[in-house]
Structure 1
Amino acid sequence: MHELVQRLSLPVKFFLVLTLLGATVSPMSSFADSFSFSGYMKSYALAQDSISIQSDAIDQSTIENITTESNTIENNSVQNQAQSIAGNFQSQNALRLMASYLSSSKGNIEIDYEIQPLYFSNSTMAEYYTKGNLGVIGGTVSSASNQYRYKDFDAVLSDFGSHGVVLQNLDRFNYQYSNYYGDLTIGRQVLSFGSARFTNPTDIFIPFAIQTLNQEYRVGIDAIRYKADVGDFAVIDMGLVIGEDGKKQNSAAFLRGKNSIQGNDIEAIAIILDDAWLLGGGIERSIGDFGFWFEAAYMDWRQNNYVEGNASENNTDGNNSLENITVDNYATNTLPLAGAYTDNYWRSSIGSDYALNEDVIIMIEYHYNGAGSNNVENYTKLATQAPYQKAGVYLYGEHYLIPALTWLASPLVSVSASAFYNISDSSVFLTVSSETSWSDNLYSDFGLYISHGDTLQYNASGANGDYAFGSEFGAYPLSVYASLRYYF
């Protein structure tokens, strides 16, 4: 415990002391008239099934030396038999402390800090998270990325034994000033764009992956943002995103306009990165008893040859991927950057919802992902390209159908279900969850992640062996979770 305290930086220590003092003096989340504390404690118990790996001829010595993204292959069978990644149990916990100071004359200050103690029955999985690489197959933990943060703490606060790790995240730290003309926010804040319900083409700053368990708060990024009302329903929103070390290649600027015209909520946005630009927009409206939305974006990547450090050394073959670039500092969870990235592409989402009655709502959305591919063999390479590293793309296929349903079973119990269906490779990722409210502050959840499709493929004929997707969602493990959430 002493070692853990020593590793906390001075701002974190001060914030924790201040928060604990406020919680002691005022457990009902208010401190004076303008200073408030709140937060939550969450605990997820997650069980994941094993993942089968289809392989060709493989000998004993190869088996002993192969590791996958989330575990060592355990089944020492031989030719043409399926290998597997062992199942595991996880305990994911989170304590989020939120402090705010509100003043009509001086402005507002917001600070949110979160600690996530994680336990994995699989020690290899814990080691993988310790290295800050959270793209592990079946990974359900949301973690901040330094890419769009000027400076930040190490994501890994501490590790304990070979099965545990503690993550930390200073998720909000901003100053807000409002007057007659608009609202100015400076510091770590959330940026979220788009009108679609499930996949937003214009939302490129660290969106949640679909399997993330705790999606209550979007990851904060460092920005200077100004929003102004220019009419009864019209808003102009502009800002500068300041990335790691303030470097141009890690930063961005955006300009967004939103207006409501005759029942149509219309949005247009432009985003400029160092090596790309995005133009997009969307519309929401009702058509009879149906809700309707459409969102689209065009992304243009400048085909330059610059890579931070030395592009000629790291990517001499001139291809559009990051395959030959290594990550020097895992602890910062920062991805490498490249110059020649990918072809330009469109992404779009169109969908509708309908209330069958006051308790049941059905939704369906079609998503086109021009950054993806209809060829499963390209998935591994896609994961290393810039749209997936810098622009918030996380789906590998091109065409998706996403049906969903929500049901208010009782005033205190709700049930929801959704499915991501990759039309190209016929794989499916299905989520089913229920929420129960026990009091104003206490909630519990139960859920399932079910996938269908061709599993991972392993080819032992290469010099070092080679893994490939059989389908996008076929490698996702069957997952069952239960959680308890308390808010204060």
Structure 2
Amino acid sequence: MSNRARWTTVCLLGLAGLASNALADVDVWWDLSAGAEALAYPQVEGLSDASQPPTWALDQTLSGRMNLVWYSEDSLEVGMHYGLAEQARLAQADGEDALQQALETDPANFRWRDLDATLVDDDPVRIRQNLDRAYIRAYLGHGDITLGRQPISFGLARVYSPVDVILPSELQAQEPTYRAGVDALRWLLPLGAVTELDLGWVFGDDSVVFARGYTQINSLTWEATALSVNQTHHVLGLGTQTALGDWGLWQEMALLSTDRDSDGGNGFRATLGADQQFLDDVYVVAEYHYNSLGVRGDYADINASGWHSTGLVSPWGQHYLSLQTSKSLSPLWQASLGQSVNLSDGGVLLTGALSRSLGNNSTLDFTFLHALAERPVVRNATSTPQALDEYGVYPSQIQVNWSTVF
């Protein structure tokens, strides 16, 4: 660990301890988690045994996050979330990681300045740090202004949102509850009881300027979004949601354009969704997503699209159908199951979670992910692997994790 990183960590933790003991107008809480994960990697048909990925691996994780919010006065708030995470690969079969590296994207960086992410990298142990929130928020008569590292997400869709291009969430068994922070200046301006205007600038190695309008007319909620990434990738979106009896309904559509044809050209994305609660405690969400920017054929060419290679668009294909179901099994047990079908190639991704409340803000979670899809293939000895099914490159995962908040 460098001296700079060591002193940064000490100062952050010391600030939390002093604030929690000395200041009555400071909220400080800690998130701790520990878990283990077993992975089974897809094997490549036609590839020699010496070049195959490892068949399996077992990882252990331990993480903690300090959360601090300081209310210096009625109209000012200062927040900071700092986390440390340790991961160790306990065991792994022999194999190469060339396939995974070939499919990795180089996501956009929306942080102006950041800490060194890796503190320790001593195989098989890695320790990383993340300053995920660091902001000042002023509550003014003309709206709220926030400067610094904060989460920013757009859209109404539950799985794939056509306008959510700032670090879009990955597909999970449950809706994500924590978004990564980006460096931004944001102004949230109320224009009425049910109307607001959201203006902002995200800055870093990559940048975004955006404007979002939100209003409610009768039973319809409307959301219009316009944004530009690096002044080259542009998104115009419109979404609505309403209720029809016991059904919740929503739609989103977006036009995407780029000033550089080599970056994937222009496109159109749309999502239609519905949710309903059956038998008092069974909650079901269904969505269809269309993505005209999706790749046809070999997904190994995904990095040819600027939208995908920078992580602005997460699904690789064109047509998706997602279904998620959750149910409370008892006051202490919660279960969820989900599946996403890539209708373009026929692959299915199954996800599931089982959560047990342990009391005192502690939970024990069991999750799994498994793909029913064609694995990558090598046509001849000199060719590179072809990813014919998007989900075919996903490793199967089983994870157990304990977490607590205090």
Normalised TM-score (structure 2):
0.92
Any idea what the Cα deviations from partners look like across 1:134-154, whole Å, max 9, x if unmatched?
Answer: x76999xxxx96711111122
Any idea what the Cα deviations from partners look like across 1:116-162, whole Å, max 9, x if unmatched?
Answer: 1011135799x98xxxx9x76999xxxx96711111122222112x2
Any idea what the Cα deviations from partners look like across 1:255-301, whole Å, max 9, x if unmatched?
Answer: 00000110111100100122121100211110111100101111101
Q: 1:292 to 1:394 in 2, by over 3 A?
A: same
Give the total of aligned pairs: 404
- Paired AA for residue 162 in structure 2: P
Distance 2:243 2:303 in 1: 37
1:49-448 pair list within 5 angstroms: 49-55=40-46, 64=50, 66=51, 73=52, 85-105=54-74, 107-121=76-90, 147-160=109-122, 162-210=123-171, 215-244=176-205, 250-273=206-229, 274-303=231-260, 340-373=262-295, 375-377=296-298, 379-390=299-310, 392-448=312-368
Q: 1:474 aligns with which of 389, 392, 397?
A: 392
Q: Name 2:13's counterpart in structure 1.
A: 16
Q: 1:48 to 1:123 in 2, by over 3 A?
A: closer
How far residue 213 of structure 1 moved from its aligned partner, in angstroms, is 9.7
Name structure 2 gaps, 5 residues minimum.
Answer: none
- Paired AA for residue 272 in structure 1: S
Classify the secondary structure of the residue corresponding to 2:263: coil
Q: 1:391 to 1:146 in 2, by over 3 A?
A: closer
Contact 1:53 1:85 in 2 (8 A): no
Contact 1:406 1:415 in 2 (8 A): yes
Any idea what the Cα deviations from partners look like across 1:415-464, whole Å, max 9, x if unmatched?
Answer: 111111001111011101011111131111011111101001124432xx
Contact 1:137 1:476 in 2 (8 A): no
Name structure 1 gaps, 5 residues minimum.
Answer: 26-30, 67-72, 74-83, 245-249, 304-319, 321-339
Distance 2:93 2:30 in 1: 32
CA-based RMSD of the aligned residues comes to 2.8
Contact 2:263 2:304 in 1 (8 A): no
How far residue 111 of structure 1 moved from its aligned partner, in angstroms, is 0.6
Classify the secondary structure of the residue corresponding to 1:174: strand
Q: 1:19 to 1:124 in 2, by over 3 A?
A: farther
- Paired AA for residue 180 in structure 1: G
Q: Normalized per residue, which structure has more strand?
A: 2
Q: Name 1:45's counterpart in structure 2.
A: 36
Normalised TM-score (structure 1):
0.77
Distance 2:57 2:311 in 1: 31
Any idea what the Cα deviations from partners look like across 1:206-252, whole Å, max 9, x if unmatched?
Answer: 022225999442110010000011011000000011112xxxxx211
Distance 1:124 1:110 in 2: 43
Distance 1:175 1:222 in 2: 11
Q: 1:403 to 1:409 in 2, by over 3 A?
A: same
Q: 1:390 to 1:52 in 2, by over 3 A?
A: closer
